[in-house]
Chain A
């Protein structure tokens, strides 16, 4: 109901990152993600995280409010994962909190997992914020991928704001129902279940409606289609890949050398 400002979708702009050929940005996300599996220290993940954050803020000019708005759920999940690792990893005990023990390897592994999740998510978000999906689809078909499959990428992204809107509406609707005081954790979990259920049911309904609507517009009628607008490959964007590959290599080198 309220206005409709959903942060996880394309932000119109003419920034250097917007202008990069879509496939280069896609490749960049893969390279950044691959690097994460080589880092052994949380510091490397942190550096990569800051680098991507700066890319988003400075070169893609994504407003900080959009970054926080779209990512808080994932970052929150990452923090939970991190805390879980503190206690769950085997290793030398460092602190004791009642029956729970924080281990030294937990303290190291926790942040590594946090950054693995956050870095991949943030990089994919940069792709979403700065790429016209139509252009991405077009560049994928130029690589020989049938357009119906290329379009699967689009459908997944198309669905994000729908889910986000649904989540916001249900949350607001539930908030004004008041809170039953018999609370307790079981009750809380039941509410959370209902919350997910409503979002899921409405989401599935929407997904079905979207699928029918797209097919009604001739999508998939032929193995190929025409494009009134094309995207030209511009090698300049390769700088992005170059810089991040270099950064990842330096990080790995420092870890191994020290």
Chain B
């Protein structure tokens, strides 16, 4: 509470006092002395780097901690005046609803409309109430046409909406959403954000944990920032960014909207005098104008002076697919005529919404699925004549969850296994190469650890290491940065670039548009089993038709550039990250 503000006890829905919590299988606390308050009918956003305790904090609201998770718990949590120690999880359900990152795990029935009714049925709502609430929610979420569909036949976005609807059906006072959009394409993400805003209008309190912060952040009433189990700062988003923006970007590596990052960078460089950090595109334009920077950017007629990027030579065709088709046994047509070449030294990102066919294509490239129609040639030989195990020497796939690929009990054995699998007879050669790989991927320090005991980031690196030892010509990586914080994302992407510099073609599957904007050279956009676009990444952001057709969106940085163009600044040249803009402003400083 800021000074001078008064607060009535009835306004506060959540009051957390000095909570310290240690998981039963961990030595040090995951939450340390956390205290916070949340007022009724407010939208609260929680951010922080990976492992900072965000999900653990979410477990406090509906009593999963202390009732179901074990461990040691100190402090108090009051929800609507009730201490969570004194009631059970099921009794808190009518007060706080929790939407899980993967809502499929909470589905308890087979059909969409039964699913929405499940919660209120448990709470003994009367039938008439359940039916009327259900109708409203089906309409609000646009799920009405699918009310008789099986829950597993929904798209990623619909699953998320159904998760939300089934929780809202219990008419809770508050809902907690833990990274609801990390698995969603950009258009579905926007959709969820809009639903969240309408909830607040209806008087529901919302806590949203997310790393997809865009203009939406400007709408929040309160922003919480966590690091190492502590609540490091909280307040209105603009205030937090003004006071702690630098710290959040530099030390915590939190994802902020690129507009805010730009403001923070310009402030640090002394290029702006005002203290306010913008969030929306509109705020950013006014800031640039107010500070006289817009004119300077506009005066830049030499768009060609933009960032120079060295492009390794692209070589021979390694993989060539023509008119590939694949339908799953249930009849779902995942690929409907895909043609694609991958050449030595390619740096390719495959984009598209959930269910666009990306993963099916990847499975096909490594031989896990066979094309039912069309031709796929890898290293000069049709895919039908490859054995999956042999193909691994030519084209390797790193799974989204690397845990699935681990086979041994230590990091070095894991790499050793791959070497043996690739024909090394064991002995000193395996040892030497294992050492090299540990070094290359920075795994030396954890060589004796159990693969499953590694942190998420290290697991991914080990996943890459095991697939690299066969010296494949193509490395396929499925969503390598999924759920990772900014620092880990940049580390992983730097690693991909290093690998690519050795001449390996790197193919990444993703729907993270910021990643595309920052790193991609060639992008392939897939939608409904066909390729909509295959070309340079720079061209993609100007193709509104393709972005819309594939449920992708421009990044907020590109929104800003488009707005600048509209304001009469014919902005040319390549801008991949906020620092590119800052660089230009620095160069054009007349004082220099």
Contact = CB atoms under 8 A, between A and B. Distances in A.
A249 interface: no
Interface in A207-246: 209-222, 224-229
Given A179-B389, A216-B89, A225 B121 contact: yes
B62 A172 contact: no
Nearest to A217: B119
Contacts of A175: 368, 388-389
Nearest to A193: B407
Interface of B: 62, 64, 68, 89-91, 93-94, 97-98, 100, 105-106, 108-111, 114, 117-127, 130-131, 134, 150, 152, 166-167, 170, 328-330, 332, 334, 359-360, 362-363, 366-369, 388-393, 396-397, 399-401, 403-408, 417-418, 420-423, 426, 452, 466-467, 470, 478
Given A3-B328, A194-B408, A217 B118 contact: yes
A3 B403 CA distance: 19
15 contacts: A2-B359, A2-B368, A4-B152, A134-B110, A176-B391, A176-B392, A198-B403, A216-B62, A217-B167, A218-B94, A218-B123, A220-B122, A221-B91, A224-B124, A226-B120
Contacts of A211: 68
Contact of A1 (B134, B359, B388): B359
A7 B330 CA distance: 9
Interface in A128-176: 132-134, 154, 158, 161, 169-170, 172-176
A5 B332 contact: yes
Nearest to B131: A228
B432 to A, nearest CB: 18
B421 A178 contact: yes
Contacts of A224: 124
Contacts of B466: 177
Nearest to B170: A218
B332 A177 contact: no
Chain A's interface size range is 35 or more
A215 B91 CA distance: 10
A16 interface: no
B106 A214 contact: yes
Given A177-B417, A225-B121, A226-B126, A3 B360 contact: yes
Contact of A218 (B114, B122, B126, B403): B122
Nearest to A9: B152
A136 to B, nearest CB: 11
A28 B232 CA distance: 62
A93 interface: no
A3 B334 contact: yes
Contacts of B388: 175-176
B122 A225 contact: yes
A257 interface: no
A248 B389 CA distance: 48
Given A175-B368, A176-B392, A217-B122, A229 B114 contact: yes
Contacts of B130: 226, 228
Contact of A216 (B64, B150, B426): B64
Contact of A212 (B64, B120, B127): B64
A171 to B, nearest CB: 9
Contacts of A9: 152
Interface string A169-203: 11011111111111000000001001000100110
Contacts of A41: none
B403 A179 contact: no
Given A177-B418, A218-B122, 5 more contacts: A169-B404, A174-B405, A176-B388, A176-B391, A221-B91
A69 B94 contact: no
- Of all A-B residue pairs in the complex, the 8 with the closest CB atoms, nearest first, are A178-B421, A213-B106, A218-B122, A218-B93, A173-B404, A221-B90, A180-B420, A173-B405
A209 B366 CA distance: 32
A2 B62 contact: no
Given A176-B397, A216-B62, A225 B124 contact: yes
B418 A10 contact: no
Contacts of A178: 389-390, 392-393, 418, 421-422, 470
A176 B396 contact: yes
Contacts of A63: 329
A223 to B, nearest CB: 10
Given A133-B109, A182-B426, A214-B106, A226 B125 contact: yes
A92 interface: no
B123 A221 contact: yes
Contact of A5 (B120, B330, B390, B422): B330
Contacts of B150: 10, 12
A158 B420 contact: no
A61 to B, nearest CB: 14
Given A1-B478, A173-B404, A228-B121, A217 B106 contact: yes
A202 B407 contact: no
A21 to B, nearest CB: 17
B368 A170 contact: no
Nearest to B390: A178
A226 B389 CA distance: 54
A154 B91 contact: no
A58 B162 CA distance: 34
Given A2-B368, A218-B119, A226 B110 contact: no
A181 to B, nearest CB: 7
A219 B122 contact: yes
B131 A194 contact: no
Given A175-B368, A176-B397, A226-B125, A5 B105 contact: no
B280 to A, nearest CB: 34
A223 B12 CA distance: 32
A202 to B, nearest CB: 7
B424 to A, nearest CB: 9
A133 B329 contact: no
B386 to A, nearest CB: 11
A206 interface: yes
Given A1-B363, A229-B114, A216 B404 contact: no
Contacts of A169: 399, 401, 404
Nearest to B327: A3
Contacts of B417: 177, 180
Contact of B404 (A2, A170, A209): A170
Contacts of A198: 403-404, 406
Nearest to B396: A176
Contact of B93 (A69, A176, A177, A216): A216
Contacts of B105: 206, 209-210, 213
Given A10-B110, A176-B392, A215 B68 contact: yes
B413 to A, nearest CB: 11
A206 B125 CA distance: 29
A220 B110 contact: no
Given A217-B106, A229-B114, A202 B121 contact: no
A68 to B, nearest CB: 10
B110 to A, nearest CB: 5
B420 A182 contact: yes
Nearest to B366: A176
A221 B123 CA distance: 7
Nearest to B362: A1
A228 B420 CA distance: 59
B219 to A, nearest CB: 26
Contacts of A217: 93, 106, 108, 118-119, 122, 166-167, 170
Nearest to B102: A209
A134 B396 CA distance: 43
